[in-house]
Amino acid sequence: MEVDNALNQTRKELETRYDFKGVGASAEWSGEKILLKASSEERVKAVLDVLQSKVVKRGISLRSLDAGAPYASGKEFRIDIALKQGIDQPAAKKIGQIIREQAPKGVRSSIQGDELRVSSKSRDELQEVIRVLKAADLEVDLQFVNFR
C-alpha cells in the first residue's frame, strides 16, 4: 500500500518537473514489479532517485527494493524493481545463527515460511534480541511485531 502511494507521488512529480518534460519518463506497475522508463540512461536513473526518495519519505527501507541495472529496450531505457517481501531461507538461517550466538539462552527461533518467529518467556530477552538484530548489519529490512 505504501509503495503504491510512493509510486503515485513519483508519477505526479514526473508530470510536473521541467527536467522530465519530453523525455518519456514514467513509473508504473508491471505485474508484481515496478517498471521505470525514460529516453536515456541518465533520465531513468533520475526517475529511480525520485522513486527512492518518495519510498523513504513513506517510511519504507530501501533494502526492500531490488532495483536492477538500466537496460535498453527499443528507443528507451528501463529499470525493473522487485519488491522483497518476507525473509528468504539463507537470510533466515543467518539471522537464526546470530540469535543463537549472541542472544540470551532462553530465546528460541523458528523459521515459518517467509518469517522468523522468536519466542521467549521474558520480554526483556526479546528486547535484547531486537537490540542485537538492529546492531547487526543485515541485508534485509527487519520488522518486529509483537503478538502477545
**Res 45: pLDDT:** 94
Q: How far is CA 6 from CA 11, 48, 82, 136, 142, in A?
A: 9, 12, 15, 28, 20
Residue type, 40: S
pLDDT at 105: 87
Q: What is the mean pLDDT of the chain?
A: 90
Residue carrying the nine cell digits 523458528: 110
Q: What is the pLDDT of residue 64?
A: 87
Domain membership of residue 11 as a residue range: 2-83
Q: Are 74 and 100 members of one domain?
A: no
Low-confidence ranges of the chain (pLDDT < 70): 147-148
Let me know if residue 63 belongs to a domain.
yes
Residue 42, in any domain of the structure: yes
In a domain, 148, yes or no: no
Residues 69 and 121 reside in one and the same domain:
no
Q: How much is the pLDDT for 63?
A: 86
Phi, psi of 78 (to 5 degrees): -135, 155
Q: Is residue 147 part of a domain?
A: no
